[in-house]
Amino acid sequence: MSRRTSRTHRARTQEFPLSRIITTALPAHGHVSPLLAISADLATRGHEVVFLGGSRFAGAAERAGVRFVALPAEADWDDRDLDAFFPGRASLPPGPERIAFDVQHVFLDPIPHQYRALLALLEEFPADAVIADAFVQGALPLALSRPRAERPALIGIGLTPAMLPSVDTAPFGLALPPLPGEEGRARNRALQEEMDRRGEPLRRHAEKVFAGVGVRLPEGPRGQAQVTVPDEYLQLTVPGFEYPRSDAPATYRLIGALPGLVGDERPLPGWWDEVTDERPVVVVTQGTLANTDLGELVAPTVRALADRDDLLVVAATARPDGPQRLAELLGGSLPGNVRVAGYVPFDRLLPHTDVLVSNGGYGGVQTALRYGVPLVVAGASEDKPEVAARVEWAGVGLDLRTDRPAPEAVGRAVDRVLGEGRFRERARALGAEFAEYRPFDTIAELVESL
């Protein structure tokens, strides 16, 4: 099956029968949005789709045109306040301890509840396929418990940088780019052995959780089963933005990034015409979730580039009180070259953007690259260091290696990315690569071939 397709929707609907499909994601905005986009696309093609997810996303599922079923309460946390749902988390500093806590309590412990919810849904909605966010590990027992002929196909969707262990890559989480040759493989083996040793308590916990639902977790490093157990694993990126793995299974495929949201009905800000003038435009954002403290990245960027007549700086805060809050952080007023918005349609802003300063959200970074925009990345939580490492490895920007950069560091990085044409050249080349892929068509082809 081709990773790229030019077949029309009409041809597909004539050629294949319609399918019943369950889609599911963790109850977090960054996980739900891609799965609902996939759900909506499949629904427009005539497939019957049910989305299993967090209760606060019921309205979003309805707007996507699909039926909604809520996860059970034990698996229905709120990503906007994880500390409230998981007692003890707030006392742990960011870093290995908190990551281990999240793996155990946020990702592993809900597995039995996710699995039972899927089984209950399949009883009344016998689906042909389950398309699951790779972090919904409660979908894995579907494939581990019975032969393929006795169950729906399981398709995993990779929404973060690939976690698949490989002889060619350092273990996920270390944010180390590939090192070529035998030297690199030796490094990777040693690091993987050390990670396996440190991760043994979590491995034992995972085995216990899976045994509790009657299945055995396959041997191998933690994270491998997420990719190797599904019948197909579709990573939402392109080869130019993901480390090569010579030992990847045939079921692991890179299918391109999903298109960004378009058609936002919010009115454009009054200063919009300025983004099309002669000055280079620098956009800064902390994304839609990690924007509680705009002093992490937005304020330092604004301070770094304040009152420079040669630049227009757009601060996209992704919160309704963002403009007011940013002004307060800056002493009550904004520099003359800065424009601030709560929400702004990125599909319209990015074509006019010369540099994006970002905290490293996977989807946001790839959206920028789809438009050929180079980056300055400053992120230190979740998968953001891995995203930032890939930005430098791909030659499309700079990694500041912190989530609270000094204004001087941001200013130097922005000037480098603007001044050295190689970053823009590589970003545009990667944008052309993204344009070659049709991920919605690839997913639909896979579903329709079942």
d(C-alpha 362, C-alpha 359), whole Å: 9
Pick from 143, 153, 187, 151: nearest CA to 167: 187
Pick from 161, 163, 148: nearest CA to 227: 163
Paired residues of 312 in beta bridges: 281
Residue 265 has what pLDDT?
60
CA distances in angstroms from 238 to 158, 243, 429, 434, listed in the order given: 12, 10, 12, 6
Residue 148 has what pLDDT?
93
Are residue 209 and residue 62 in the same domain, yes or no? Answer: yes
DSSP states of 419-448:
H-HHHHHHHHHHHHHHHT--HHHHHHHHHH
Residue 376 in domain: yes
The structural domain count of the chain equals 2
Chain length of the chain: 450
Residue 328 in domain: yes
- Looking at 159-264, list the stretches that DSSP marks H as alpha helix, in order from N- to C-terminal side: 181-198, 200-212, 224-228
The pair phi, psi for residue 232, each rounded to 5°, is: -140, 140
Are residue 119 and residue 256 in the same domain, yes or no? Answer: yes
Residue 13 has what pLDDT?
43
Label residue 250 exposed, middle or buried (CB < 10 Å: 0-12, 13-18, 19+).
exposed
**pLDDT (tens digit, 0 to 9) for every residue of the chain, 450 residues total?**
344 443 444 444 445 558 999 999 999 988 999 999 999 999 999 999 999 999 999 999 999 999 999 999 999 999 888 889 999 998 988 777 888 899 999 999 999 999 999 999 999 999 999 999 999 999 999 999 999 999 999 999 999 999 999 999 999 989 999 999 999 999 999 999 999 999 899 999 999 999 999 999 998 887 799 999 999 999 999 999 999 999 999 999 999 999 865 445 678 888 999 987 789 999 999 876 666 788 889 999 999 999 899 999 999 988 888 888 888 888 888 999 999 988 888 888 999 999 999 999 999 999 999 999 999 999 887 889 999 999 999 999 999 999 899 999 999 999 999 999 999 999 999 999 999 999 999 999 999 887
Are residue 51 and residue 156 in the same domain, yes or no? Answer: yes
Residue 3 has what pLDDT?
42
Are residue 191 and residue 110 in the same domain, yes or no? Answer: yes
Here the CATH number for the domain that contains residue 331 is 3.40.50.2000
Are residue 442 and residue 422 in the same domain, yes or no? Answer: no
- pTM for the model: 0.90
d(C-alpha 159, C-alpha 226), whole Å: 12
Residue 1 in domain: no
Q: Which two tokens stand for residue 82?
A: 């994880």
CA distances in angstroms from 25 to 92, 168, 235, 248, 359, listed in the order given: 26, 29, 15, 24, 23
d(C-alpha 160, C-alpha 30), whole Å: 10
How crowded is residue 201: how many other Cβ atoms within 10 Å of its Cβ? 10
Are residue 52 and residue 83 in the same domain, yes or no? Answer: yes
d(C-alpha 301, C-alpha 376), whole Å: 10
Residue 129 in domain: yes
Torsion angle (degrees, nearest 10) of CA 320, 326, 331, 337: -110
Residue 342 has what pLDDT?
85
Residue 4 in domain: no
Are residue 229 and residue 289 in the same domain, yes or no? Answer: no
Contact predicate 407/304, CB 8 Å: yes
Residue 425 in domain: yes
Are residue 56 and residue 184 in the same domain, yes or no? Answer: yes
Q: Which domain holds residue 40?
A: 9-260+437-448
Residue 141 in domain: yes
Residue 2 in domain: no
Are residue 235 and residue 342 in the same domain, yes or no? Answer: no
Are residue 43 and residue 186 in the same domain, yes or no? Answer: yes
Are residue 231 and residue 361 in the same domain, yes or no? Answer: no
Are residue 305 and residue 206 in the same domain, yes or no? Answer: no
